[in-house]
Structure 1
């Protein structure tokens, strides 16, 4: 039993091995792109919404409401970024019920890549909101002594994001595989249900934590209070 989809080689392209992580990542990406194109192809005011468009609008509005609760006055770019993270992680985890599908989120390389994207997005959003000087100033607040600790905290966020997502998804897949070999009829159904629930929760937590980190980088610095005589 392979513990990670990185160990499963699907095929080779010009002598380069394509493992299950890359293969299923592209499948998830293709599904999301094709689904969005099909749902929004008639996205016009004169065309009445169908059930798929209504479902998509409910999902987008739900993500937007959650972002607004975390980051007041958030921009639409934060919705695009956090929403994409949520949809990718959620779709990867939901497809776990498909026989033979290995979720790319059960690979440490995928979760590390997602965490790195958050580490890059945080300063980009912070600089766009505060400017370079205003964002760099946050590393020396409340005093210059905090500079190394703030830098360590920035990287520890990415590490915790990657390990949390990888550990939960990988452990669920391993437990399901073990129970499948012990009792191939009853336990897989229960584990699939629990896997779906856990996958959606992890997608939500990952997107929310990314939103929290970005909102903390884009929040305006508190103004110093003047002493009242």
Structure 2
């Protein structure tokens, strides 16, 4: 049994092996892109919303509401980044119920790439919001002696994000495979329900943590989120 989709080669493209992680990642990105294009193609004030547009608006408003509660301030800029992370992780995990689908989030390479994107986004958002000098000062809070610890904390966030998401999704896939071998007629339904629930929870946690980290970098010095989060 392959524990990670990195070990599964789907096909060779001009002599370059394409593993399941890359293959299913592009499938997820393609589904999200096509769905957004189809739903928003008639996104005009004079066109009454259909059920798909209404569903999309509910999802977007729900994500925006969660971000607003965390940021405690203007947070429209976070919607595009954190919302995209949530939709990608959620759809990757939800497609686990399709027989043969291997979620890219069960690969450590995918979760590491997502975590790196958060690590890059934190200083970018911080510098754009507070300026280069203002952002760098956060590494000296509450005193300059904390500089190395704040830097270590910054990188430990990314490591924890990657390992947490990878571990939860991979372990769920392994448990499902074991249970399917024990009782193939009963456990599939149970594992499908648990897979849907776990997938949504992991997507929510990942997006929320990314929002918290970015909000801490963009908050004003007087705001509680300006203090470094060491969780």
**TM bracket, shorter-chain basis:** over 0.9
SS, match of residue 90 in structure 2: helix
Partners of 2:149 and 2:115 lie apart in 1 by 19
- Residue in 1 aligned with 2:69? 69
How many residue pairs are counted as aligned between the two chains?
223
Query: Cα distance, 1:74 vs. partner?
Result: 3.1
- 1:142 offset after TM fit, Å? 1.0
* Residue in 2 that maps onto 1:209: 209
Shift of 1:192: 1.1
Aligned to 2:153: 153
CA distance in 1, matches of 2:59, 2:66: 11
Given that residues 121 and 214 in structure 2 are in contact (C-alpha distance below 8 angstroms), is that contact kept between their aligned partners in structure 1?
A: yes
Deviates more, 1:149-158 or 1:73-82: 73-82
- Judge conservation of contact 1:105–1:166 (CA < 8 Å) in 2: yes
Alpha-carbon distance in 1 for matches of 2:213, 2:74: 13
CA contact (8 A) 1:67 1:74 kept: no
Shift in Å, 1:72: 1.5
- Alignment partner, residue 86 of structure 1: 86
Look up the match of 2:179. Answer: 179
Cα-to-partner distance string for 1:30-77 (whole Å, 9 max, x where unaligned):
000000000000001110000000000000000000000000123322
> Which digits, 9 at most, give the CA deviation of each residue in 1:58-97, with x for residues without a partner?
0000000000000012332210000000000000000000
SS of residue matched to 2:74 = coil
TM-score under structure 2 length normalisation: 0.95
Q: Secondary structure at the match of 2:177?
A: helix
- Give me the whole-angstrom Cα distance separating, in 1, the residues matched to 2:189 and 2:167: 21
Gapped runs of 5+ residues in structure 1?
224-229
SS in 2 for 1:131: helix
How much does 1:191 deviate? 0.8
Alpha-carbon offset, residue 22 of structure 1: 0.1
- Hey, what does 2:229 align to over in structure 1? none
The structure with the larger Rg is: 1
Give 1:130's aligned residue: 130
What's the secondary structure of 1:88's corresponding residue? helix
CA distance in structure 1 between the partners assigned to 2:131 and 2:203 by the alignment: 30
Which runs of 4 or more aligned residues in structure 1 lie more than 4 Å from their structure 2 counterparts after TM superposition? none
Q: Is the CA contact (8 Å cut-off) linking 2:6 and 2:107 kept in structure 1?
A: yes
Q: Is the contact between residue 24 and residue 103 of structure 2 (CA under 8 Å) also seen in structure 1?
A: yes
Instruction: Determine if contact 2:24/2:104 at 8 Å carries over to the other structure.
Output: yes
Given the alignment of the two structures, is residue 163 of structure 1 paired with residue 163 of structure 2, yes or no?
yes
Offset, 1:189: 1.0
TM-score (norm 1): 0.96
